[in-house]
Structures are given as C-alpha cells and as structure tokens.
C-alpha cells in the first residue's frame, strides 16, 4: 500500500518537473514487479493448498483400500478355518471307492480357492505400491515451499510423474483379473 502512495506522489510530482520522471519510472516498475511477485506467491499458495487437498483424498482412498484388504484377509482366514477339518480328515482309511471319490470331489471343489488367495495377494501388493507412492507424494508436498530451487522442483516433478513404486506389469495383471 505504501508503494502505491509513493507512486501517486511521484506521479504527481513527476508531471510538475522533468527531474522526477526517472523516479516515476522506477516506482512504477517496482510497483509492477511487486504486484507480479504477490500474484505468483498467491498462485503458489493456491497450488500448495490443492496439493494438500490431493493428499487428503489420496489418504482417504488409501484407508479405504486398507479396510478392503483387512476384509479380504479376514474372509480368507475364516474360509481357512472352515475348510481346515477337510484337510485333517484321513481319506486313506475309506474302503469304499465311491465314498472316497465323493470326498475327493468335495475337497477339490473347496481347494479351487487359490484364485481368492491370488486376488488377496495381488491386493496386498497393490496396496503396498500405492502406499509407497502416497508416502513419496506426501514427502514431496511437505518439502515444497516458496524457496524451493528449480532443480529440486524438476526432480520432484519427475518423481511424481514416474510413479517409481508402481509396477505397471502388476497393475495390468490386476486389470486382467477384473471381469
């Protein structure tokens, strides 16, 4: 605000005398520069707020993924406890071949569950990758400020865009499993 007053004062005095014309140019240039710097700082702050909002949303998604993973883990543990008696039965004692074949088919239908464990393992791997990527993004955002050097910003941009913790092959494999 003070610079605006100086500008007006020198502008008025500058019209009265040609001696003050360089001062008017100087103050108008300084005012222009100051307003641009303030505008850039406001844009940077807005961008930082946007990045923090992104982190909040990403953390929420990460928490949801963690809950889903815990649910799948609990379901698998429950299923393993239910199927445990089938593993403990000794099928070699049965003399009736038909009875044994029925038990074998019963067990084989229950043992066709590796797909579920494959899904669970894949979910765990994806969760781990996403969490590592989130931690990287969180570190980048928390280290950003108005004094960040351009080289530092370039490396942050490259890390952010490369997603070094996300394995594309695993992600493609996961997409193939979704019907």
Contact partners, residue 119, CB within 8 Å, separation at least 6: 72, 177
Confidence of residue 32 (pLDDT cuts 50, 70, 90): confident
Neighbours of 175 (CB within 10 A): 8
pLDDT-wise least confident of 95-99, 113-117, 166-170:
95-99
- Decide: helix, strand or coil at residue 107: helix
Which two tokens mark 178? Answer: 């979704």
**pLDDT tens for residues 45-61?**
888 888 999 999 999 99
pTM score above 0.75: no
pLDDT of residue 84: 54
Structure tokens at 25: 């140019």
For residue 22, pLDDT beyond 70 = no
In sign, the C-alpha dihedral spanning 104, 108, 109, 111 is: positive
Give exposure, 142-161, as e/b (b: 16+ Cβ within 10 Å): eebeeeeeeeeeeebeebee
Count of helices and strands (H, E) across the chain: 6, 0
Q: Is residue 27 within 8 Å of 3, Cβ to Cβ?
A: yes
């Amino acid at each position: 605000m003070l610079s605006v007053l100086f500008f007006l004062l020198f502008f008025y005095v500058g019209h009265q005398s040609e001696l003050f014309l360089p001062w008017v140019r100087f103050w108008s240039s300084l005012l222009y520069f100051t307003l641009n710097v303030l505008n850039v700082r406001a844009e940077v702050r807005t961008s930082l707020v946007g990045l923090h909002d992104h982190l909040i949303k990403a953390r929420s998604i990460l928490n949801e993924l963690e809950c889903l993973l815990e649910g799948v883990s609990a379901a698998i543990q429950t299923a393993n406890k239910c199927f445990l008696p089938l593993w403990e039965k000794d099928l070699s004692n049965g003399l009736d071949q038909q009875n044994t074949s029925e038990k074998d088919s019963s067990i084989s239908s229950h043992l066709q569950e590796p797909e579920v464990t494959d899904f669970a393992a894949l979910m765990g791997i994806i969760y781990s990758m996403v969490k590592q990527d989130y931690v990287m993004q969180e570190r980048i955002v928390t280290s950003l400020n108005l004094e960040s050097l351009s080289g530092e910003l370039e490396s942050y941009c490259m890390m952010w865009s490369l997603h070094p913790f996300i394995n594309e092959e695993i992600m493609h494999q996961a997409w193939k499993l979704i019907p």
